[in-house]
């Protein structure tokens, strides 16, 4: 059972969420590099000191928010496995739903957020940005769904799980790149749902 927060702790969490939400709005409106910590604190009706009480930098705030989105993907994955509404779905169907949810989550905060994710999520030890998106969810969630599909006969067994995951990762990268270049001028899930369907068809076990 989760520990109940005190009123003071609740207020602190609310202030933290407000700072994060205001920061993400400002990043989307003005661009990440054009927003200062002072701008964020002012928009949140807070102080610069309060900001640094929660985050050491804009980058740390951004990573915190990205981790929250990753947590949403994990929550949806667990729902696919546990919710009776999905009990009749085979592994391939769950793979499709998870793929669409991940794509929607990645694009839900606009193209500016996606570009920051690609270019600024991680730093190396000397402070240079490493343009490598996080792949943890791909290599934790999707292999389980692929193996589930292989077990129930809905996903091809002649392709290795790693091959499918790596191909999906490249698929997502291509879709996100096209969307970022267009500056988010279209609804990514509406335009590219057919590509996810095509990908799922390509890994589906063809029966009969």
| Higher per-residue pLDDT: 108 or 203 | 203
Report residue 118's pLDDT band, with 50, 70 and 90 as the boundaries. low
CATH class of the 7-55 domain in this structure: mainly alpha
Average the pLDDT over 160-177 and give the result: 87
CA 125, CA 136: separation in Å to the nearest integer? 20
Q: Residue 71 pLDDT > 90, yes or no?
A: no
Q: Tokens representing 205?
A: 């076990």
Calculate ∠ Cα 83-87-91, nearest 5°.
110
- Give the number of other Cβ atoms within 10 Å of residue 36's Cβ: 12
Question: Distance between CA 169 and CA 147 in Å, rounded?
Answer: 17
Q: How far apart are the first and last CA of the chain?
A: 49
pLDDT value at residue 183: 72
Q: Cβ neighbours of residue 33 under 8 Å, at least 6 residues apart?
A: none
Domain ranges for the chain, please list them: 7-55, 58-203
**Average model confidence (pLDDT) across the chain:** 82
Position 1 confidence tier, pLDDT thresholds 50, 70, 90? very low
Question: Of residues 72 and 145, which shows the higher confidence score?
Answer: 145
pLDDT of residue 123: 47
Please check the confidence at residue 203 and state whether its pLDDT lies above 70.
Answer: yes
pTM for the model stands at 0.77
| 195 Cβ neighbours under 8 A, 6+ residues apart | 171, 175
DSSP H or E run through 129: strand 129-130
pLDDT digits (tens, 9 = 90+) for 150-164: 999 999 999 999 999
Is pLDDT of 3 > 70? no
Report d(CA 42, CA 15) in Å as an integer.
13
Indicate the CATH number for domain 58-203: 1.10.357
Percent of the chain past pLDDT 90, that is, above it, reads: 39
In this prediction, residue 104 carries a pLDDT of 84
Q: Which of 25-34, 53-62, 66-75, 91-100 has the highest mean pLDDT?
A: 91-100
Q: What is the pLDDT of residues 6-56, one digit of tens each?
A: 877 788 888 888 998 898 888 878 888 889 999 999 999 999 999 999 999
CA–CA separation, 74 vs 149, rounded Å?
18
User: What local confidence, expressed as pLDDT, does residue 138 receive?
Assistant: 60
Question: What DSSP element (H or E) covers 123?
Answer: strand 122-123
What is residue 146's predicted lDDT score, i.e. its pLDDT? 96
């Amino acid at each position: 059972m989760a520990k109940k927060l005190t009123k003071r702790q609740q207020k602190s969490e609310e202030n933290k969420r407000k700072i994060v939400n205001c920061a993400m709005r400002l990043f989307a409106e003005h661009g990440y590099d054009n927003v200062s910590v002072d701008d964020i604190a002012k928009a949140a009706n807070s102080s610069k000191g309060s900001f640094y009480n929660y985050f050491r930098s804009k980058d740390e705030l951004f990573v915190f928010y990205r981790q929250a989105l990753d947590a949403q993907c994990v929550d949806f994955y667990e729902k696919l496995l546990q919710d009776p509404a999905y009990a009749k779905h085979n592994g391939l169907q769950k793979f499709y739903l998870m793929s669409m949810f991940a794509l929607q989550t990645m694009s839900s905060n606009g193209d500016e957020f996606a570009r920051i994710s690609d270019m600024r999520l991680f730093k190396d030890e000397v402070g240079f940005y490493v343009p490598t998106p996080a792949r943890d969810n791909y290599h934790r969630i999707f292999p389980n769904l692929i193996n589930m599909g292989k077990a129930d006969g809905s996903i091809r067994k002649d392709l290795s799980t790693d091959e499918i995951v790596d191909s999906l990762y490249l698929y997502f990268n291509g879709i996100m790149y096209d969307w970022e270049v267009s500056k988010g001028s279209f609804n990514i899930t509406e335009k590219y749902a057919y590509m996810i369907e095509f990908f799922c068809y390509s890994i589906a076990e063809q029966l009969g």
